[in-house]
Every structure is written in C-alpha cells, then in structure tokens.
Amino acid sequence: MKKILDIISEEVMAAFEAAGYEGELGRVTISNRPDLCEYQCNGAMAGAKKYHKAPIMIANDVAEKLAGSALFSKVDAVAPGFLNLTITDDAVADYIREMRRLSKYGLDEAKEPKTIVIDYGGPNVAKPLHVGHLRSAIIGESIKRICRYMGHKVIGDIHLGDWGLQMGLIITELKERHPELVYFDENYMGEYPEEPPFTISDLEEIYPAASAKSKEDAAYKEKAMEATFKLQSGVRGYRALWQQIIKVSVTDLKKNYANLNVDFDLWKGESDVHDIIPGMVKYMKDGGYAHESEGALVVDVKEETDTKEIPPCMILKSDGASLYNTTDLATIMDRMEHIKPDELIYVVDKRQDLYFEQVFRCARKTKLVSDETVMKFLGFGTMNGKDGKPFKTRAGGVMRLEHLLADINEGMLTKIRENATLSEDEAKKIAKQVALAAVKYGDLSNQASKDYIFDIEKFSSFEGDTGPYILYTIVRIKSILAKYTAAGGDVNAAKIAAPVSASEKALMLEMTKFNAMLEGACEEIAPHRICAYIYDLSNALNRFYHETKILSEEDEEKKAGWIALLALTRDMLETCIDLLGFDAPDKM
C-alpha cells in the first residue's frame, strides 16, 4: 500500500505541474507545526529562485489548483511561501480501513528479499553471561525480527566463543583438581562417560579461578596454552571433555536466552570452522593475499584514503596458532559457501569496530565475499550505571545477567502485587513479562550505537517513555474490548468511521505512519524507530481514550466503530512489541 506521504505528495506534485512548475517541488512532509496543519510543502520556497518569483506567488498558484481536491479539507498558502495542508476526515479513515483490510497493515514487503545472516549474542562457553551480552542479544533479536517482517530471509547465528584459551584454562584447572578423570588418561581407548564430571555452577566457579591463576602464574598459563593446543589438535580425551563443557554450558545458555525471549537459528561456534582454516590459509597464501611478517601470517588491509592507521589483519600467529580474526574470516567463508547471504550483520560492542573494519576489508580483499556482499557492523554502546560508568554490581564486580534479571523481576513483582485481583502465580508471570519489557524497551529506545544509562527505576515506571507504559496501554485497550465482548459485542464487526474528534483523528494520523516507519527501521537497522512510533501511538490512544466516553456511548454504530479502531491499535502495538522481542499480558 502506498505510503500516506506519497499519496499526498502526488496530489501536490500534480498541482505544481498543473500550475506550470516542476512537479518535484511538491514533496510533502509531516508538519512541524501540528498546531497549524497536519502536512506541509515547502516547494514554493525552493522554486522561487528557479522561476524568479516570490515564493508566496507560487504557493498561491498551487493552492488554487488544490482547491477542489478531495484529499484536503484545508490548503493555506502562508507567508513567506509555505503550503499548509490538512487532510479530510474521510481520506484518513479510508486509509485506516485499507490498513485494516490488508495484511501487515498495508506494509509492502521488500521487493527483492535478501538473505541476511545476523551474528549476535556471541556468549563465551563456560563464562557467565554478563550485561555486555545483554545488549547484543536484545538488539540482534529485534533486528532479526524486523528484517524478517519486511520479508527478508534472516538467519540468526549465536557465534559461540568456544575455542580459545578459556577452554584450555578450564581443562587445566580440571586436571589440577581431578587428575584421576579418565579424560586425562592418555592410554584410555574406551568410550567416555555420558555424564559430565561437573555442573554449570562448578564451571562458573572454575573459569574465574583458572583465569586469575593464569595471570599470576606463568607456568600455569603455559599449561593452559598447551591444553588449548592439545584440544585444537584433536587429542581424544581433551575433545571429549570439551564436548562436556559445551553441553553443560549450552544447556544453561539456552535457558538464559529463552528467559530473554531470544532464540537463534544456528548455534554455531568458533570451533565449527576449525577444520576449514588450513584450506583458507592456503587459499590466502596461494592467491598472494597473505604474506609473512615477523613470523606471523598477515593480510595488509590499509587503504590510501585512510586517515587513521589500520594495522594488517593477522591470520596466523608466529607459532601457527589461529586467532579471533581467523575464526571470524573462516566463518565468513563458511557462510558464503553454505548460506550464500547477500548481507552479514554483526551486532557487537562498538569497541570492536576497528577489529571488524580489518576483518571486513580482509574478507573483501581476499574475495571471501563477492563485491555485492554487504557487511555491516552494528556496534552498540556501553550500558552504564547511574554514575555514568560501566554497569557494575554494588560490590563493583561484573554483574551477572541472571542476577540482574532476578533483581528486576523481584522489583516488578512488588509493583504488580499491588493489583490485588491477581493470584500470586499470575502476578509472577506478569511481573516477568513487564520486567522484560522494561529492560528491552529501555535498551532499544536508544540509538544502539550510543552509550546509555541503565536506570531500572525509570525503565520500570508505568508512565513516560517506557516498556511498561506501552504494555499498560495495550492492557487498557484489552480491558475495554473484553468489557465490550462481555456485553455481547463483536469487536471486529464494525466499520471504522470517519473521525469525529481531533483526538480521534490524531490517533488515526499516527497509525498511518506505520509502513514508512517500519521500512525505515529495517533500512537503517534501527529498532529505536519502532519505540518512538509506539510511544507516540500510545500517547495518541490514551488522549483519545481520556476524551471519549467509549463504552457508555449510546449510538451503537459509533461505539462499534471506535471499538474496531481500538482493536486495530492493539494489534499494531502488539505487532510492534513483538518486533522488539517482548509481549503484553492481558492484565497488569
């Protein structure tokens, strides 16, 4: 369905042409003076030079041509040469009815659907999730849903950190504590036990302990590096133990991500590309892309236009070991071969932007990707505490994601319990839902690249630009609709009529922006545009609600039309929050 601004622009462009001016001048925008008009066109100002005429004369000419238009109830040419436009009640109601009739509220899906891989989440096996991983999960999940809604084929890949030194550290520590484990018996040839020799809590205690030791004890670190090497070169017992670590850790990660309403199509990790690295290295050497530098293998990626130093991309260290780069490049190669994506999007902390610049340049230079493949780095900013410094626990440590979410759920439960009509089970379920909305909306309503202050009191408020406020609005609509249904009404039976009040028209005008907003959110990979939209839409809905006695309206037809309008608003809000990755309860 055509966007409302295009429909209006076409009408005004035709009027410019009919008055003897270039049509392009007739582009219309939403008014920045909503007190004066709904839409405006500044084309007469731009045309003044070209036609050697005062802008107001041009504006008057165009206004004259628009006089009979069925689209506008008011067209004013005002000094020095603006066209102020107001559309008719029927035109806006027609548009809303069409939105309601069509699927996806009249959104045109992408004409050429792309295959997109989104690399997000990026947790590290056996290391607890912390708040840094929270942003990647929240933003990546939303982008995945938005692009999919636009009609693209989207594959979300978690890209587990499961292959580096942290694995060697854990194995080393396990060996120190339990040298008797069969995994360390080099002569053992049988099957390894099914049961892992540790729990997730053990692992979460072991990793930090090992990591701390390695920082103080050089010999210990040496052992960990050797264990990493043995693991990577395929020593049976080490591989089997590593499988156990992955199994225990992934089970726990799945639970954590499910709590966040985040899910991945692929649970691939760095280790998955281990076997294709030698082939890639050979390809890079044979192609003359990679050369030796101080014993290491590197690809130069600097360009003449660089204003800052871009160091070469290291493919292998001097001891032949692969690096974070190597697995990322091999993963690109793997994705190009098996998924053939048109686009790769990485949702990672923005402090990794130089790193990704190197990786992208290297992938392009070595032709791991085609010239058309788009690679985007969506670097997100830091989540800060109220003191403006990176978010920490009260004791100053790294905040575990699980603990953070448990605290937030607890706080929300206290609030939700104030609604005495809810059972304890209901309250718990709803508190979780509302808490998730608070956290996700609090994050997504900021432009992803910016740092933001994680202010849970503010995010949890039922008023203002927050997730709970949006949910509250949806719940309000649901409760009106439920009452209407209980009294025997059919929510979807009626036709939506032309608006009878300013607040009703304002609500409809807000609704009409949906398709343009969503297209923009997808193109700019910007979930915050959806947040801004549903905040405006909720405000418009609540204003209409406060100014209108809906359920006590005596004119049944009028009432039914309003109910249909509310139901449509609820559907649109629920669609939008689903794209953000959370949902609304029926009561709260």
Residues in contact with ligand ARG by the rule CB under 6 A:
119, 122, 124, 159, 161, 328, 346, 348
DSSP state for residue 103 in the 8-state scheme: G
Q: How far is the CB of 255 from ligand ARG (least distance, A)?
A: 19
**Coarse DSSP helix, strand, coil percentages of the chain, rounded to the nearest 5 percent:** 55, 10, 35
Residue 308 CB neighbour total at 10 angstroms: 7
Cα–Cα distance, 566 to 530 (Å, whole number): 19
The continuous run of DSSP H or E covering 281 comes out as helix 277-286
Dihedral angle sign, alpha carbons of residues 227, 231, 232, 233: positive
Closer residue to ligand ARG, CB minimum distance, 359 or 565 = 359
Residue 531 CB neighbour total at 10 angstroms: 26
Q: How far is the CB of 121 from ligand ARG (least distance, A)?
A: 8
Q: Which two tokens stand for residue 211?
A: 């990591």
Q: How far is the CB of 372 from ligand ARG (least distance, A)?
A: 21
Closer residue to ligand ARG, CB minimum distance, 58 or 330 = 330
Q: How far is the CB of 515 from ligand ARG (least distance, A)?
A: 32
Closer residue to ligand ARG, CB minimum distance, 214 or 433 = 214
Residue 389, SS3? coil
Residue facing ligand ARG at closest CB distance: 122
DSSP state for residue 341 in the 8-state scheme: -
The angle at the Cα of 484, spanning 480 to 486, to the nearest 5 degrees, equals: 115
CB-count burial class (<10 Å; 0-12, 13-18, 19+) for 464: exposed
Closer residue to ligand ARG, CB minimum distance, 358 or 366 = 358
Residue 371 CB neighbour total at 10 angstroms: 6
Closer residue to ligand ARG, CB minimum distance, 120 or 535 = 120
Closer residue to ligand ARG, CB minimum distance, 376 or 429 = 376
Q: How far is the CB of 331 from ligand ARG (least distance, A)?
A: 7
Cα–Cα distance, 510 to 217 (Å, whole number): 63
Beta strands per DSSP E along 356-435: 374-380, 383-384
Q: Is 464 left (phi over 0), alpha (psi -120 to 50) or beta?
A: left
Q: Exposure pattern of 550-560 as b/e (b: 16+ CB <10 Å)?
A: beeeeeeeebb
Q: How far is the CB of 404 from ligand ARG (least distance, A)?
A: 17
Closer residue to ligand ARG, CB minimum distance, 232 or 473 = 232
Closer residue to ligand ARG, CB minimum distance, 350 or 415 = 350
Residue 155, SS3? strand
Closer residue to ligand ARG, CB minimum distance, 129 or 565 = 129
Q: How far is the CB of 161 from ligand ARG (least distance, A)?
A: 4
Q: Which two tokens stand for residue 539?
A: 């405000």
Q: How far is the CB of 82 from ligand ARG (least distance, A)?
A: 49
Q: How far is the CB of 328 from ligand ARG (least distance, A)?
A: 5
Closer residue to ligand ARG, CB minimum distance, 61 or 328 = 328
Q: Report the candidate in 486, 488, 462 with the shortest Cα–Cα distance to residue 475.
A: 462
Q: Which two tokens stand for residue 557?
A: 């037809």
Q: How far is the CB of 242 from ligand ARG (least distance, A)?
A: 17
Closer residue to ligand ARG, CB minimum distance, 380 or 582 = 380
Q: How far is the CB of 272 from ligand ARG (least distance, A)?
A: 12
| Residues in contact with 125: Cβ distance below 8 Å, sequence separation at least 6, in sequence order | 160, 161, 162, 166, 167, 245, 246, 249, 250, 269
CB-count burial class (<10 Å; 0-12, 13-18, 19+) for 493: exposed
